[in-house]
């Protein structure tokens, strides 16, 4: 691999580690409602946040190089890690995190379309956001215990990014989320971490499905 792509991947991973270690950890910790004694220790929180963000940043930089859409992908990855930690801790995805993520991703997709000259992608992004929101909203109405409103709202920024790439990536991201969720659920049942009547946070599976979709794109 040429030196420039290697430097980009390493730089992106280091950026992810720094963001995950400090600002993302602070953002995550502030949105966890539990008393300090019940929360994940800050050192462990920083380790998970920094390690996961660094890994995702490195993978996305390796896959997309200097593609104009990379900043938007890094934004959804970073926010997704923070949201996933809150979801795993409290089984909720706070509005105070989801909606700023939606705004940042939407703003970053504008220069991505301008630099690529593909303005139609923004229309696809808007459709993807609305479509994924409606899909999860219907699921939440059908089975409120299985799908929370936090998941429904997280579908807005996630669907926005996936929709920017087109229908095929959007569908792969949607289906991959449920595939990952099924594996997680079966594993948790096998390890007796949850019962058949229990619930498992779905936000991390949604993020994983989205990352899989954009990573396999093209």
Q: Assess contact for 204 and 88: CB atoms under 8 A.
A: yes
Supply the range of the domain harboring residue 179. 3-216
User: Which stretches within 65-200 are classed as H helix?
Assistant: 70-90, 95-116, 120-142, 149-164, 167-190
**Cβ atoms within 10 A of the Cβ of 205, count?**
23
**pTM, two decimal places:** 0.94
pLDDT tens-digit profile, the chain (218 residues): 455 589 999 999 999 999 999 999 999 999 998 775 566 788 889 999 999 999 999 999 999 999 999 999 999 999 999 999 999 999 999 999 999 999 999 999 999 999 999 999 999 999 999 999 999 999 999 988 889 999 999 999 999 999 999 999 999 999 999 999 999 999 988 887 777 666 789 999 999 999 999 999 86
| Number of domains forming the structure of the chain | 1
Place of tokens 């993302």: 24
**Cα dihedral angle (25, 54, 128, 84), rounded to 10 degrees?**
-40
């Amino acid at each position: 691999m040429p030196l420039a792509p290697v430097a980009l991947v390493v730089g992106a991973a280091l950026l992810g580690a720094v963001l995950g270690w400090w600002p993302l950890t602070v953002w995550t910790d502030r949105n966890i409602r539990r008393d300090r004694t019940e929360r994940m220790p800050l050192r462990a929180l920083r380790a998970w946040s920094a390690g996961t963000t660094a890994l995702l940043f490195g993978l996305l930089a390796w896959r997309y190089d200097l593609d104009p859409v990379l900043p938007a992908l890094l934004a959804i990855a970073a926010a997704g890690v923070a949201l996933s930690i809150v979801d795993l801790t409290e089984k909720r995805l706070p509005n105070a995190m989801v909606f700023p993520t939606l705004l940042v991703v939407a703003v970053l997709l504008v220069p991505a379309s301008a630099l690529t000259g593909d303005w139609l992608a923004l229309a696809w992004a808007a459709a993807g956001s609305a479509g994924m929101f409606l899909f999860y909203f219907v699921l939440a109405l059908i089975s409120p215990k299985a799908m929370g409103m936090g998941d429904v709202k997280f579908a807005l920024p996630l669907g926005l990014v996936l929709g920017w790439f087109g229908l095929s990536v959007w569908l792969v991201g949607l289906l991959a989320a449920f595939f990952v969720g099924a594996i997680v659920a079966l594993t948790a049942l096998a390890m007796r971490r949850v019962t058949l009547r229990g619930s498992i946070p779905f936000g991390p599976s949604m993020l994983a499905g989205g990352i899989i979709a954009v990573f396999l794109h093209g």
